C-alpha cells in the first residue's frame, strides 16, 4: 500500500547510497574513509550546512551502508525543535539504547538529531552528557544549519563535516532527472526559475517542482512557477528597502523580521534577496556590495544572525538614505 511519504517526490527520489548524494564530494569521501577503518571506532558526527544540501539524506545513507537492509532497527531520528525538551530526548535515547548488545553486524546504534542548533546552550550541555553516557552503544549524528550555534564541547567531541550549498548545475541536473522519470515537460527556463526561487535548497526545489507539475498537468511554465512562489522579490523586502531609502530604520527592521518569521529563511538567503532587489533598482553601488559581503560573512561566523542583520540595516540606511530623497 502506498503511503503519503511515497507520494512525495522529496522522499521518492531521496538518494539511498552515499555515491548518489549530489555535489558533496568532500563529505562523501570523508565518510567512506571512516567506513574503510574499524567501524567500531567511528566517532560522533556533526553535519553542518545550509538547508536542503543533503545532511539528513547523507546520515540515512550512511546508516544503510553500515547496517544494510535492517538499518531501521538501529536508527532513531529525532528533531530538537519538535521534542518537548532535553528530558524527552534523554528518555527516548535511554529506551532506544536499552538492552542493546554490540555485535560485528551492529557495533552500535545511531541517533540522528536534526536542528541541533535550535537547542539552548544549557540543553546542549545536557546533550553532551547524554552522548558520553551512551557512547558504548550509540553514535550521534548531529545536524545543524549554523555550526557557530553548537557549543565547543560538542564540536570537540565530533567529527565535523561541512555541507556546501548546491551549485546550480548539479541541482538542475537532479531536477531534470525527476522530470524525465515523472514525464514532466520542463523547459530550461522553468528549471532555472525553480532553482532561483529555491535559493539553492534542493529540498525546496523538488517540492516546488512537484507542486507546479501537479497543478499544470505536468507542463509547467515560468509564469506557473511565479504564480506559486509569488514575486521574485517578496513584497516585504521591497518595502524594507523603500523604508531604508526614506531613513525609516525602525519600519525597515520590523518589516524584515516579520518577513523572516513567516518565511523561515536564514540570514544568507535574506541577504541574497536584498542583493537581487538592489541590483534590479541600480542601487548596488560598490560600498553597498562591500557591506552586504561583510555581513554575509559575519552571519556565517556569528551565533546571532538577528544582531548582524540589524547592524546591516543600520549601515544600509546610511548608505541608501540619501538616494531616497
pLDDT tens column, 233-277: 677 898 999 999 888 999 999 999 888 877 767 888 889 889 878
Q: How far apart are CA 53 and CA 165, in angstroms?
A: 6
Write the DSSP string, 54-91: SHHHHHHHHHHHHHGGGGGGGEEEEETTTSS-HHHHHH
pLDDT at 4: 39
CB crowding 255-288: b at 16 or more within 10 Å, else e = bbbebbeeeebbbbbbbebbbebbeeeebbeeeb
**Average pLDDT, integer, range 177-202:** 91
Least confident of 1-15, 143-157, 206-220, 276-290: 1-15
**Average pLDDT, integer, range 104-118:** 91
Cell numbers found for residue 292 = 552586504
Q: Are 76 and 33 in contact, with CB atoms under 8 Å apart?
A: no
Confidence label for 291 from pLDDT (cuts 50, 70 and 90): very high
pLDDT at 206: 92
Residue 281 pLDDT exceeds 80:
no
Residue 109 pLDDT exceeds 50:
yes
pLDDT at 160: 98
Q: Which fold has domain 4-162?
A: Rossmann fold (3.40.50)
Confidence label for 6 from pLDDT (cuts 50, 70 and 90): very low
Residue 158 pLDDT exceeds 80:
yes
**Average pLDDT, integer, range 39-54:** 93
Q: Angle formed by the axes of helices 305-321 and 249-263, to 10°? A: 140
Residue 318 pLDDT exceeds 60:
yes
**Average pLDDT, integer, range 55-63:** 97
Average pLDDT for the chain: 88
pLDDT at 304: 77
**Average pLDDT, integer, range 284-301:** 88
Q: Which fold has domain 235-324?
A: Zinc Finger, Delta Prime; domain 3 (1.20.272)
Choose between 265 and 76: higher pLDDT: 76
176 by DSSP, 3-state: which? helix
Residue 114 pLDDT exceeds 50:
yes
Residue 282 pLDDT exceeds 70:
yes
Residue 126 pLDDT exceeds 60:
yes
Residues 6+ apart with CB under 8 A from 261: none
Q: What is the pLDDT of residues 130-151, one digit of tens each?
A: 999 999 999 999 999 889 889 9
What's the CATH number for 168-229? 1.10.8.60
Residue 217 pLDDT exceeds 60:
yes
Confidence label for 86 from pLDDT (cuts 50, 70 and 90): confident
Sheet holding 158-162, edge to edge: 75-79, 109-114, 138-144, 44-48, 158-162
Is the fold of 168-229 the same as that of 235-324? no
Q: Where are the domains of the chain?
A: 4-162, 168-229, 235-324
pLDDT at 301: 80
pLDDT at 232: 47
Amino acid at each position: 500500500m502506498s503511503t503519503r511519504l511515497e507520494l512525495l517526490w522529496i522522499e521518492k527520489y531521496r538518494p539511498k547510497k552515499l555515491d548518489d548524494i549530489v555535489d558533496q564530494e568532500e563529505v562523501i569521501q570523508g565518510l567512506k574513509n571512516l567506513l574503510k577503518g574499524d567501524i567500531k571506532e567511528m566517532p560522533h558526527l556533526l553535519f553542518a550546512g545550509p538547508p536542503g544540501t543533503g545532511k539528513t539524506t547523507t546520515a540515512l545513507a550512511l546508516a544503510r551502508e553500515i547496517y544494510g537492509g535492517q538499518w531501521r532497527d538501529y536508527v532513531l531520528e529525532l528533531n530538537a525543535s519538535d521534542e518537548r525538551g532535553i528530558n524527552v530526548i534523554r528518555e527516548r535515547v535511554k529506551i532506544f539504547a536499552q538492552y542493546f548488545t554490540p555485535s560485528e553486524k551492529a557495533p552500535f546504534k545511531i541517533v540522528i538529531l536534526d536542528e541541533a542548533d535550535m537547542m539552548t546552550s544549557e540543553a546542549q550541555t545536557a546533550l553532551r552528557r547524554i552522548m558520553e553516557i551512551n557512547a558504548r552503544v550509540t553514535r550521534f549524528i548531529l545536524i545543524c544549519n549554523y555550526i557557530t550555534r553548537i557549543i565547543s564541547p560538542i564540536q570537540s567531541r565530533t567529527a565535523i563535516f561541512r555541507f556546501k550549498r548546491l551549485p546550480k548545475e548539479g541541482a538542475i541536473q537532479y531536477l531534470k532527472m525527476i522530470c524525465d522519470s515523472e514525464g514532466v515537460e520542463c523547459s530550461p527556463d522553468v528549471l532555472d526559475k525553480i532553482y532561483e526561487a529555491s535559493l539553492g535548497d534542493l529540498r525546496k526545489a523538488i517540492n516546488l517542482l512537484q507542486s507546479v507539475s501537479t497543478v499544470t498537468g505536468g507542463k509547467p511554465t515560468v509564469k506557473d512557477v511565479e504564480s506559486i512562489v509569488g514575486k521574485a522579490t517578496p513584497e516585504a523586502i521591497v518595502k524594507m528597502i523603500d523604508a531604508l531609502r526614506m531613513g525609516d530604520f525602525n519600519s525597515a527592521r520590523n518589516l524584515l523580521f516579520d518577513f523572516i518569521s513567516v518565511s523561515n529563511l536564514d540570514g544568507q538567503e535574506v541577504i541574497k534577496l536584498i542583493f537581487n532587489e538592489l541590483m534590479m533598482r541600480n542601487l548596488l553601488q560598490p560600498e553597498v556590495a562591500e557591506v552586504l559581503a561583510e555581513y554575509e560573512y559575519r552571519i556565517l561566523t556569528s551565533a546571532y544572525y538577528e544582531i548582524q542583520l540589524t547592524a546591516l540595516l543600520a549601515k544600509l540606511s546610511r548608505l541608501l538614505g540619501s538616494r531616497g530623497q
